[in-house]
Amino acid sequence: MHWYPRYVRVDEQRARTVSEINRLLACGVQVQPVELRGRTVARYFWGRRWCEHVESFSEYAARLAHGRAYLRNGCVCHLSIKPGGIDAMVIGSALYQVSLRIRRLDSTAWTAIGTACAGRIDSLVELHQGQLSDDIAEVFTHRDSGLFPQPGEIVASCECGDATPLCKHAAAVLSGVGTRLDERPELLFLLRGVDETALVGGEPARSRDTVAAGGLEPDATNGAASSHAVDSRPRNAPGPADSKAMPAGAPTSTDSATSSRPVKKTLTYRPPIRAAAGQRPTRSDFANEAAGFVPTGEMVGDLREQCGCSVAEFADLIEVTPTTVRRWESTPGPLNLHAAPWEALRALCLESRQHPG
């Protein structure tokens, strides 16, 4: 008998993946599988550039080829991106937990990117869609000084026990990030710990870990993550252009910035979502329980102020990005939300009514 593992056909491998995903969902584990459309790993700007970047390093070349095969066969049944890391599950001969720790972008490098792009990016939509001039695209994607991590900034771990720096399961996850960035390019900025909204309108670029008071960076010797930068201007407060037309003695955004706002830390309740085994929860799962709850942009803004949260703090509370919260608050009428943020907002509304003030 030869020592090679038994060959597994692609259709059999995909059936195993579907079965494993259904089992995890039945156990209450919310997974985010990576699903390719065709055989192309990434189709759009940020996803393609991510793949090109990681493939440019010779130490990854052999493993990435094997990892892409795993990805195309549907073996990445979960991939979640958060600041400074990626958590994933990959099906090989068994289900393996994979973790990639990626160092956050140095504040000096982010400031240099922000300076080069100052006044040259008109909107977040333009940035997320990669609609950039060639020189600005080069600033973001430069192999050494751009937004993408270097091999020395990536630490991979996998339950498979492979002693190499990048096993084939971690390589599948690394390639899967490119596919995920096709769907949600804002996750790249979240992963590197920077706030891309600072690039729009010529504002100075700041990292997500920039301390709000005085704009100081966290102590490099302190391993604990500091708080997000706080947007201290209240919702609907006048901007610099509006303040010129205000009468003398009227309160300004600067006055508001100096006032302290207690954060209501009790608003963290997330009730479990009970979906049928093998299915993802949808908004219809909550229809009978919370009929009539229709979140609006105005309601989100009022709820955030009632909680005493900045945009970044409120985004952390309901597990979305600050950009998403800002978009909600500027949207007139009802919001069309996915099940998870819809349920989180509903839970906050219920608890704020039970614990007013």
User: What's residue 148's pLDDT?
Assistant: 95
> What dihedral angle (degrees, nearest 10) is formed by the CA atoms of 350, 351, 356, 357?
-130
Q: Could you tell me the domains of the chain?
A: 10-105+147-194 (no CATH), 261-354 (1.10.260)
Residue pLDDT, tens place only, 91-140: 888 889 999 999 999 999 999 999 998 888 888 888 998 888 999 999 99
Segments of 130-275 assigned E as strands: 154-158
Which pLDDT score is estimated for 189? 94
pLDDT value for 287: 40
Cα gap 279→263, rounded to integer Å: 36
Backbone torsions φ then ψ of 13, nearest 5 degrees: -65, -40
Instruction: Give the dihedral of Cα atoms 138, 208, 125, 307; nearest 10 deg.
Output: 180
pLDDT number for residue 139: 92
In the DSSP assignment, the letter for residue 156 is E
Residue 76 to residue 89: CA distance in whole angstroms: 6
343 contacts 332 by C-beta, under 8 angstroms? no
- Rama region for 215: left / alpha / beta (φ>0; ψ in -120 to 50; rest): left
pLDDT value of residue 207: 54
- For residue 176, what are its two tokens? 């899967």
pLDDT in tens, 271-306: 334 444 444 444 444 343 344 678 888 888 888 888
Q: Alpha helix (H) ranges present in 82-167?
A: 107-117, 124-128, 134-141
The model scores a pTM over 0.75: no
pLDDT of the residue at 104: 92
What pLDDT sits at residue 332? 83
| Segments of the chain with pLDDT less than 50 | 1-5, 7, 204, 210-291
- The per-residue pLDDT for 355 is 59
Torsion angles phi and psi, residue 98, rounded to 5: -120, 140
In the prediction, which pLDDT does 142 show? 93
CA of residue 284 relative to chain centroid, distance: 25
Q: How far apart are CA 174 and CA 191, in angstroms?
A: 13
**Cβ–Cβ < 8 Å for 341, 316:** no
Phi, psi of 64 (to 5 degrees): -65, -35
Helix (H, G, I), strand (E, B) or coil at 194: strand
φ/ψ of residue 79, rounded to 5 = -150, 115
Q: For position 356, what pLDDT does the model report?
A: 55
